[in-house]
Homo-oligomer: A and B are copies of this chain.
Amino acid sequence: MEDKVYTLVSRETKKEDTIITVRKDIKIGGKQIQIMAGPCAIENYEFTSQAAKACKKSGARILRGGAFKPRTAPYSFQGLGEEGLKILKQVGKEEDMATITEVLDPKDIELVASYADILQVGARNMQNFALLEGLGKIDKPILLKRGISAQIQEWLLAAEYIVLNGNPNVILCERGIRTFEHDIRSTLSLTSVPIIKELSHLPIVVDPSHSSGRPSLVPPMSKAAIACGADGILVEVHPKPEEALCDGQQALLPKDFDKMMQEMKLIAKAVGREI
């Protein structure tokens, strides 16, 4: 049997919370809760810019958007690739937002890191060890999504791969697990938030969009995430969800995102934090 012990990411090794500096004024894991918002995929400049303006105005400091999209079917829209990265960077600069985007292939790490501030590992790649090792060799923050059927121990060991290879800046992200529930796209296991806080010093954020699968469930689950201790939210916002090329059915409209942000600020205050 293999020894499944993580050391570097363990709370036993390091008592104090890790606070990751994305930018001088944007930190993850401290008192300030970070909202990472934007479209699922970068589709063009216009949608990205509109989404970013709205998200910024409502209080988000980090712009999300995919350029390389992992898709279940080979016939689905696969993302704009480097062209998408360029748009993301440009819009981020225009709106003074930090950026986060996904990387799928170890050979693209350097390219993606040259455009974005945070690199995201998707749920399907949580145990893509070649990718994790590559990400351990850069110095940008990595957001590591939980695999859809990953035990918490396996998730922490995936983080350990990155840290052991040299990069201590790992942000965990609960995004829902696969269960028997049919009514929900995946089951958001929010209990993982306080468990991670007990087991590890790494920050943890929650993605309520992919698990909910529909916009009406996103605000209550975002508030619940903040209430139980999450350090941030990764959420899909799109100016025209019905025209989105990817996952439009779960994106919030800017006005609904704004309403949610106001509500989340009250919850953040109730738990002694701010957004």
Contact = CB atoms under 8 A, between A and B. Distances in A.
Interface of A: 1-6, 70-77, 104-107, 124-125, 127-130, 148-149, 151-154, 157, 160-161, 164-165, 177-184, 187-195, 198, 211-212, 216-217, 220-221, 223-229, 246, 249, 263, 266-267, 269-271
B181 A189 contact: yes
B76 A104 contact: no
Contacts of A223: 227-228, 271
A228 B136 CA distance: 36
Contacts of A181: 151-152, 177, 189
Contacts of A220: 193-194, 227-229
Contact of A191 (B70, B130, B188, B192): B188
Contact of A5 (B5, B73, B152): B73
A174 to B, nearest CB: 12
A195 B180 contact: no
A160 B74 contact: yes
A151 B73 CA distance: 13
Nearest to A78: B129
B179 A227 contact: no
Given A216-B194, A220-B194, A72 B4 contact: yes
A13 to B, nearest CB: 14
B157 A130 contact: no
Given A153-B183, A160-B73, A270-B269, A221 B249 contact: no
5 contacts: A71-B129, A74-B129, A181-B189, A224-B224, A267-B267
A75 B151 CA distance: 18
A184 B190 contact: no
Contacts of A191: 184, 187-188, 211-212, 217, 221
B183 A177 contact: no
Contacts of A221: 190-191, 194, 228
B1 A249 contact: yes
A107 B106 CA distance: 9
Contacts of A227: 220, 223-224, 226-228, 267
Nearest to A223: B227
> Which of A75, A164, A193, A211 has the most chain B CB atoms inside 10 A of its CB?
A75
Contact of A267 (B105, B180, B182, B270): B270
Contacts of A76: 2-3
A81 to B, nearest CB: 12
B107 A180 contact: no
Contacts of A127: 70, 72, 124
